[in-house]
Structure 1
Amino acid sequence: MIKKVVYVIIFILSLQRLEAQNIKTEIPDSLSRWEKLNKVGLDFTQITFVNWSAGGNNSISGLVKGQFIRNYKYNNFKWSNELLMRYGVNKQEGQDLRKTDDAIQLNSTVGYRKDSISHWFHGGKFTFQTQFANGYNYPNVDKAISKPFAPAYFFLGIGSEYARKDLGFNIYLSPLTMKMTMVLDRRLANEGAFGVDKAIYDAVTGEITSNGKRTRTELGALVTGQFKKEVFKNIIYDTRATLYTDYLKDFGNIDVDWQNYLEMTVNKYVKANLGVHMIYDNDIKTKVEENGIQVIKGPKLQLKQIISIGLTYSF
């Protein structure tokens, strides 16, 4: 009887030991090779006038935005991904709903460094930009001046990135980057919008003999940089710049895209934002309304300024 009890105990201990050897362990989040951030926000502005002697129109506006980051790092290899989305509208008294902001941007950078102390990563970068909805030169809402994938921009190149996470700074230098501009809307492509080759018309009948190109491909040099850091308590400054020049056409003529934002934290969920966005692209012609007709003018500096307060949630 005692021997049987001993055998049972030995058998149970053997099973426990075997089970302990087969236990699967999970990597704690703090040791994961993925860095993840999801941030969504809603900015809201309202102006109401009642018997206001100086005059004014009642208005309400809203902006929905999102930022999603997925960064992978293992030894000397890293892969950084960021998706930015914004869409805003405004409604004023006596006017239809109007778009105020519209952007989709995806950035992806792959890099490898030779050792763990180097701040230089060598690899490639991919960027995609477009918009959600049609854009208009208000008050004309009959003919859109931009649409989803009209334009859309693709950047793909090889280069080197200098990254300092401790300083909140990085700069990417690419001597060889392909830029593709897509204008998938036929009317806008025929007009030669956003730098694509426009349609060819018969000199006598005025009919189109050859449709405009839907795409335009360039090969040039790209420089991008970002600085993001808390400059004062609860105030974060984020500036991003993109510079591009084409080797084959107008070399030295630089396309500029520069964004500056101040994010001021009120509490965990409420934040105020101040932003300035500047764009100059020699291939983007401006359109103005003259006697109800859209007239194409030369390129100009594009400027957008934003002041807002709203809710932000990170998860």
Structure 2
Amino acid sequence: MRFFLKSSVVLILLLTQITFSQAIQTKLPDTISHWEKKNVVGLDISQIAFMNWNAGGNSSVSGLLKGNFVRKYTTDNVRWVNEMIFKYGVNKQDGVELRKTDDAFQLNSTFGYRQDTISNWYHSAKLNFSTQFTDGYSYPNTEKAISKPFAPAYIFLGIGAEYSNKEKKINVYISPLTQKTTLVLARELAAQGAFGVSKAVYDDNGNMVSEGKKSRTELGFLVTSGYKKEVFKNIIIENRLNLYSDYINKFGNIDVDWQMQFDLVVNKYVRANIGAHLIYDDDIKAKEEIDNIQVTVGPKVQLKQMLGIGIIYNFI
């Protein structure tokens, strides 16, 4: 009898151990991936309508489609972050043609290596590319485009040091050696010398002697910083700042690209956002309408303010 009791206890313990081991095995992944990925798409819509409104006003509807895709590879000593961002927005008012309100496509890639796991500093190489999807106009003039796809396009390629702190949600990149390439692949814009490229040369009769350059290369100093954190419950702030100065052409004259955005989270799929985007580039000359004539003036601070509410969708 004791033998059967002992055997039963041993059998029960053995079965329990096997079951527990199987449960643990089912929870463990087959492979451990060093890749993290994020896919987010969103659509912001705003609309206003008037009917017999005494104060007057124009009915309008606006839409902004946006996406953010991230692929991040991390090990103890290696950090490789790749990001693709796109935005495209339009606005339609009564009696006015469809107008573009936002248009951006960006690719960012940063590869970093550190010698130990204690330091937050990485030896890094960075590549940034940006352009737009469709032609841009200085409204109400829609006959002559002031920008086009790949006109301009910007490429930053450099090496430096990057500080990345996961706990503080901050990232700073410093590069004393960065090449900036400006592409203006539209012939008519290159001929005008748009976005800093060398313009076309004409003789006294107005005949083109040499075409405008379609690219411009600079070598300079680049500093970028990024910060994203939940500052209050369901309120997320994201700040991106790029500062660049060319060594040869007016060193100390800094190109600024600064974006700040607040995301107000309603739930998993709905959120509002408030943001601003400021750009200053000495090579970008502003366009103005003077007496129905489009005139090129000097560089100016470009400022865009955004306010919207929409839906977002995260997927793997």
Task: State the match for 1:238 in structure 2.
Answer: 238
Which residues in structure 2 correspond to 1:50-89 (within 5 Å)? 50-89=51-90
Deviation at 1:78, TM superposition (A): 1.2
Q: Which structure 1 segments of 5+ residues have no match?
A: 1-24
Which residues in structure 2 correspond to 1:72-221 (within 5 Å)? 72-202=73-203, 204-221=204-221
Task: State the match for 2:271 in structure 1.
Answer: 271
Deviation at 1:291, TM superposition (A): 2.4
SS of the aligned residue for 2:168 comes to coil
- Distance of aligned partners of 1:207 and 1:63 in 2 relative to their CA distance in 1, 3 Å threshold: same
Q: Count residues with an aligned counterpart.
A: 290
Aligned mates of 1:147, 1:260 — CA distance in 2:
25
SS of the aligned residue for 1:251 comes to coil
Task: State the match for 1:6 in structure 2.
Answer: none
Aligned mates of 1:281, 1:98 — CA distance in 2:
24
Q: Which residue identity does 1:97 align to in structure 2?
A: L
SS of the aligned residue for 1:166 comes to coil
What is the TM-score normalised by the length of structure 2? 0.90
- Distance of aligned partners of 1:276 and 1:51 in 2 relative to their CA distance in 1, 3 Å threshold: same
Is 1:253–2:253 an aligned residue pair? yes
Aligned mates of 1:211, 1:28 — CA distance in 2:
60
Aligned mates of 2:216, 2:29 — CA distance in 1:
47
Deviation at 1:26, TM superposition (A): 11
Aligned mates of 2:30, 2:129 — CA distance in 1:
30
SS of the aligned residue for 1:145 comes to strand
Note the aligned Cα RMSD (angstroms): 1.4
Aligned mates of 1:139, 1:29 — CA distance in 2:
60
Q: Which residue identity does 1:193 align to in structure 2?
A: A
Q: Which residue identity does 1:309 align to in structure 2?
A: I
Deviation at 1:30, TM superposition (A): 9.3
Deviations 1:195-251 (A, max 9, x none): 00111111x201111111000000000000011000000000000000000001100
Q: Which residue identity does 2:188 align to in structure 1?
A: R
Deviations 1:90-139 (A, max 9, x none): 00000110000000011100000010111001020000000010000011
Deviations 1:265-286 (A, max 9, x none): 0111000010100000000000
Q: Which structure 2 segments of 5+ residues have no match?
A: 1-25
Task: State the match for 1:16 in structure 2.
Answer: none
- Distance of aligned partners of 1:43 and 1:293 in 2 relative to their CA distance in 1, 3 Å threshold: same
- Distance of aligned partners of 1:309 and 1:111 in 2 relative to their CA distance in 1, 3 Å threshold: same
- Distance of aligned partners of 1:260 and 1:106 in 2 relative to their CA distance in 1, 3 Å threshold: same
Deviation at 1:31, TM superposition (A): 3.7
Q: Which residue identity does 1:285 align to in structure 2?
A: K
Task: State the match for 1:13 in structure 2.
Answer: none
Task: State the match for 1:312 in structure 2.
Answer: 312
Aligned mates of 1:83, 1:250 — CA distance in 2:
31
Q: Which residue identity does 1:172 align to in structure 2?
A: Y
SS of the aligned residue for 2:136 comes to coil
- Distance of aligned partners of 1:120 and 1:96 in 2 relative to their CA distance in 1, 3 Å threshold: same
Q: Which residue identity does 2:104 align to in structure 1?
A: A
Aligned mates of 2:262, 2:124 — CA distance in 1:
30
- Distance of aligned partners of 1:274 and 1:186 in 2 relative to their CA distance in 1, 3 Å threshold: same
Deviation at 1:142, TM superposition (A): 0.6
Q: Which residue identity does 2:67 align to in structure 1?
A: G
Which residues in structure 2 correspond to 1:26-45 (within 5 Å)? 28=29, 31-45=32-46
SS of the aligned residue for 1:190 comes to helix
SS of the aligned residue for 2:195 comes to helix
- Distance of aligned partners of 1:60 and 1:39 in 2 relative to their CA distance in 1, 3 Å threshold: same
Deviation at 1:75, TM superposition (A): 2.3
Deviation at 1:292, TM superposition (A): 2.4
Deviation at 1:27, TM superposition (A): 7.9
Task: State the match for 1:20 in structure 2.
Answer: none
Could you list the structure 1 runs, at least 4 aligned residues long, displaced by more than 4 angstroms after superposition: none
What is the TM-score normalised by the length of structure 1? 0.90
